[in-house]
Amino acid sequence: MEGAVVPGGGEVERTDGVVRCGVYGEGRLVREFRPDEVEALVLAPGEFVWIGLHEPPPELLRRIQKRFGLHELAVEDAMRAHQRPKVEEFEDSIFVVVKTADWNEKKRVMNLGETHIFVGHDYVISVRHGPSLPHAPVRQRAEAAPQLLAKGPGYVLYALLDFVVDNYFPLVDELEESVEQLEAKLFSGPPKPKITRRIYALRRELGGFKRIVLPLLDCLHKLMRIDSRIVPDDVRLYLRDVYDHVVRLNESTDQLREIVHSALEANLALISVRQNETMQMLAAWAAILAVPTLIAGVWGMNVNVWPNDQTWWGFGAILLLMAASCSALWLRFRRIGWL
């Protein structure tokens, strides 16, 4: 089985790293086999093997390598993981590395993983690392369409890549929703530090997703043009459809990055405007308060050439002058928008 079913509808991986091993012929599952049978496995003409692994032990990969003649460098990459998306063509096989990404609704974060695919004329071996989604739906769809599965390992490669790319779309939808929420908050009130932090977090998420999608364009382009009987011409038409999906994802990511970049600039501009408004208000009140201070300072000088405390109307006149001056300044600053 493609993983054990647990309560709640989830799946867990086998602890030995093996998910499912099957022999297919004429588009149908002929039989399943155990990992310890791989070295003695004999295939009839037209049959191929589809092996699914999840973080397998090195000994198992070495045994599979020995049976199918996998290239040493590709096996080392599959053991270590943490590879960039790529396609490598060997004499009689193809090695594909893709990054997986899906949205974890519960934790509201991206689940990032990695899938390595070995493809030969009679085998397909997928090695998953990290929290990538199980390939059970891929097998189910492929086994439900025997006329397509009969195309061989090349079609299985397409089905796996299509599954990986399809899981990118919900992630892009979530990023688009996050950007829309950010835009709504940006202009709904005064700028806040948490909005700036959210903008930078979105930029980081979009940058990480861009590093997943962009190399995949080159990988699919190479697969469509590769000169190998492993990927027949009728399968390349299906790969072109996956390529179109990745192009659309790449364009959507670029648009979101531009929006986030514009949001960052707008946020900084709003902060600057807010600071200018605050400085204008402080300057206006400072000017208003400076006038009575100046008048009081001059009035308090020890001279007798203007009304002072010995004149009965002098104190009232000075207070009236202060009030009139402050009122005139307040009206002026109010008119020009500083208050």
Structural domains of the chain ordered from first start: 1-145 (3.30.460.20), 273-335 (1.20.58)
Compute the average pLDDT of residues 82-92: 89
pLDDT at 300: 66
Q: Tell me: the pLDDT tens digits for 46-72?
A: 999 999 999 999 999 999 999 999 999
Bigger pLDDT: 127 or 315? 127
Percent of all residues in the chain with a pLDDT value above 90, rounded to a whole number:
42
Residue at token pair 């405390």:
309
Bigger pLDDT: 189 or 310? 189
320 pLDDT more than 80: yes
Can you list the alpha helix ranges (DSSP code H) found in 122-232? 136-143, 146-149, 153-166, 168-186, 193-225
pLDDT at 81: 81
Compute the average pLDDT of residues 67-85: 90
Yes or no: say if 180 and 59 are a contact pair by the CB < 8 Å rule: no
128 pLDDT more than 80: yes
Q: Cα 34 from chain centroid? A: 37
Strands (E) located in 43-122: 47-54, 86-89, 93-104, 109-120
- The phi and psi torsions of 271 (rounded to 5 degrees) equal -65, -45
Q: How far apart are CA 242 and CA 254, in angstroms?
A: 18
Q: Which residues contact 122 (CB under 8 A, 6 or more apart)?
A: 43, 47, 48, 49, 68, 153
Q: Which residues contact 225 (CB under 8 A, 6 or more apart)?
A: none
Q: Tell me: the pLDDT tens digits for 266-313?
A: 877 777 777 777 788 888 888 888 888 877 777 666 656 555 556 666
The structure's pTM equals: 0.77
Would you call 303 helix, strand, or coil by DSSP? coil
Q: Please state which of the ranges 14-18, 194-198, 207-211 shows the lowest mean pLDDT.
A: 14-18
pLDDT at 197: 85
Q: How far apart are CA 203 and CA 201, in angstroms?
A: 5
> How is residue 270 written in tokens?
């709003």
Q: Cα 313 from chain centroid? A: 76
Q: How far apart are CA 97 and CA 104, in angstroms?
A: 22
Q: Cα 144 from chain centroid? A: 32
